A = this chain, B = another copy of it.
Amino acid sequence: MQNNDIDKLSKIIAKLPALGTRSARRIVLHLLKKKDTDMVTLISALQNVRDNIKKCAVCGNYDTNDICAVCADASRDKEVVCVVQDVADLWAMERVGLYRGSYHVLGGILSALDGITPEDLNIESLFVRINQEKIKEVILALPATIDGQITAHYLLSRLKELPLKITTLAQGIPVGAELDYMDDGTIQLALSARKEL
């Protein structure tokens, strides 16, 4: 005999990524207990994001303006474009804080299984940018999965006809990892790409 409003909210929250029925119930109960504090701030933060956040017309990042802070920053190198799958990857790169170029968010990767073709991704806009801006280097920072690498190869096949430097993130043993816990593919790859000291 659970209340209708509570039930509806639980079901909506349960469908969010990383959540399920049980964790949704815990969240709803927590919010009910803090109806005048946590719940109010959550609702107003959601409304702020809904009302204020736009997709950047250039790179696909999310920000308050039509041109995001990265694209609008004159100090950043506009000759280098880092191609990423999703805004989450752009955020990950920005958290590191080392990269000073611009981005291009594909909004997904090619997938035969999910029926995602080049037309479904922001690929044409990348080539429009390369034609219009003075881009000298494209960094392919796509996932090291099969679909990610297929997408990288597709882009490479079209990019290498243009007068560009094309690079990709280095692959190998991640920092802090123990060899014993690495998969065979990573060890093979790290060995064949070994560097002289």
Identical copies of this chain, number = 2
Specify the main secondary structure of chain A where it touches its partner: helix
- Whether a CB of chain B sits under 8 angstroms from the CB of A2 is yes
Q: Which residues 74-124 of A sit at the B interface, judged by CB distance below 8 A?
A: 86-88, 91, 94
How distant is the Cα of A15 from the Cα of B41 in the complex, in angstroms?
A: 12
CB-contact partner of A50 in B2, B29, B43, under 8 A: B43
A41-B12 contact in complex given A50-B35, A62-B3, A69-B3, C-beta closer than 8 Å: yes
CB-contact partner of A17 in B26, B42, B47, under 8 A: B26
How distant is the Cα of A100 from the Cα of B25 in the complex, in angstroms?
A: 23
CB-contact partner of A30 in B17, B38, B64, B91, under 8 A: B17
A45:B94 contact, CB within 8 angstroms: no
**Chain A residues bordering chain B, tally (CB within 8 A):** 50
What are the 4 closest A-B residue pairs judged by CB atoms, nearest first? Answer: A18-B23, A9-B45, A17-B26, A5-B48
- Please name 18 pairs of A and B residues whose Cβ atoms are closer than 8 Å in the assembled complex, sorted by A: A1-B70, A1-B94, A2-B94, A4-B64, A5-B48, A5-B64, A6-B49, A12-B38, A12-B42, A15-B38, A16-B31, A16-B42, A17-B30, A19-B27, A28-B49, A29-B86, A31-B46, A32-B49
